[in-house]
Structure 1
Amino acid sequence: MNFYSSWFSPGLMWAANLALLLLLLPLAPAAWRSMGRHHAATAAALLILALWWSLRAQIGGGQIGGMSYHLLGLALITLMLGSAAALWLGSLMMLAATALFNGAAHLPVTGLNVWCSVVPPVLVSQLLLYGCRRFLPPNLFVYIFINGFLAAAIGMLLAGLCITGALAWSAAFNNEALWHNALPVFLFIAWGEAFLSGLLCAVFVALAPQLMSTFSDERYLRRQNTIW
């Protein structure tokens, strides 16, 4: 999750940056409206991202030396502020993390890193949220388990596939080492991601529902609701 610009061609990096800009610009009004209406949730989201992304496991040597892993928290942020705001906050956090951990010289790779690490979990979370609203009953268990827990696990796994695929494309590492050594780590991280996201989702719903813009008391806590 810590791409270096030396791993990719300049053309690929700038194409990724341009594509990201074309994605983010139309989403800016919705993102700023959401953050403007939910100041406390925005502050909490920034704190969660800063804390989770600072917990990094760095691979010092071997065939995948130079890689690092960290939690994402983006499925939870999507539930807190919506997908547009989650993409914007995740992209800004990736820009800051790249400058802080890799150095300003590697900022051109930020767009590609966002496509691999930020977009997949936000997309998974948004699709599962839409699917649950469309096809499942408005039940609190469904919201916490599927949108809070399961979405985080699937999003991390998809991000891991995208990251591993991008590194395989770049030929920066041995392909066998990537698929057999680097990718399985995401399976373990996915459980931690899912547990923390599901736990915080449950805590926020119970104690601070104002932090969850996608949660509604009227929808999920009506008396006539049953488990199924």
Structure 2
Amino acid sequence: MGLETLILIALLGVSVSMRPWRLLRGSGSALLTPLFASLTLLPWLWALPRMHAMPLALQLSGACAVTLMLGWPLAVPVLVLVGLLSAIITPAPVAEIVAQIVWFGLVPSTLSLGLGVGLRRWFGERPFLYILGRGFLGTVLCTFAGASLALWMGHDIAHTATALGLVGRWLLAWGDGFMTGMLTAIFVAFKPQWLATWSDRLYLRQR
């Protein structure tokens, strides 16, 4: 738990130092809708593994979707709140909640940020890469990486061998990818103001 606590404090500290609440001012007030939607829906998805007994817990992250909608600085405190709210829905030991926040929230979110920076630097601002690279395939890779690190850190899945757990996490990561990719495509087409990481000026060359 020590390492996970340090990761949580460090990422939250960097996020808060960037004053992410400024994104909600003026035209950024459109982000209030995805913000409240995240705080309403995600705690239930995060609480789901503790609400039923199955060999492989149905854990959907949604962290990459939140990052695309709110931007990384604002996504970090939101994901921490999501973890705390999920603990209210289904109580669990503090160590378990911290591990869930870090490995299924903050780590995929931070990896998604790095992936987005890399895609823009290497390939430029292309709508196809934004939707497919960041929204779909990027979510699969970042979510699976976070889940794999959780297993590597000793958070094994109950009644499941580690190798089988990796296969299960890989399949569940695709569920996250389809969900995030679908939302990204819909929002780009109909609600671009709900995506803090999207810009018509950059991706569509509009002035």
Question: TM-score, structure 1 length as denominator?
Answer: 0.76
Q: 1:73-112, aligned counterparts within 5 Å?
A: 73-103=62-92, 106-112=93-99
**Mapping of residues 153-192 of structure 1, within 5 Å:** 153-167=140-154, 177-192=160-175
Q: Separation in 1 of the partners of 2:11 and 2:46?
A: 23
Displacement of 1:48 in angstroms is 4.5
Aligned length: 201
Measured against aligned partners, the alpha-carbon deviations of 1:36-57 in whole angstroms (never above 9, x if no partner) come to 5332232233344245435548
Instruction: From the CA coordinates, give the structure whose radius of gyration is larger.
Output: 1
C-alpha distance 15-190 of structure 1, shift in aligned 2 (>3 A): closer
**Superposition RMSD on alpha carbons, in Å?**
2.6
Name 1:21's counterpart in structure 2. 9
Unpaired segments ≥5 residues, structure 1: 1-12, 224-228
1:189-200 aligned at under 5 Å gives the runs 189-200=172-183
Partner of 1:150: 137
Identity across matched positions, percent: 26
Give the TM-score normalised by structure 2.
0.83
1:132 match: 119
Distance in 2 (CA, whole Å) between partners of 1:57 and 1:114 is 14
**Matched-pair contact (CA < 8 Å) for 1:167–1:173:** no
Are 1:31 and 2:14 an aligned pair? Answer: no
Q: Is the 8 A contact 2:39 2:81 kept in 1?
A: no
* 178 and 31 in structure 1: CA distance in 2 versus 1, 3 angstrom threshold: farther
CA contact (8 A) 1:17 1:110 kept: no
Tell me the residue number matched to 1:40.
33
How far is the alpha carbon of 1:211 from its aligned partner?
A: 0.0
Task: Find 1:121's aligned residue among 102, 105, 108.
Answer: 108
For structure 2, the 5+ residue unaligned runs are none
Q: CA deviation at 1:180?
A: 2.3
> CA offsets, 1:27-73, max 9 Å, x none?
11433223453322322333442454355487736xxx5x6232111
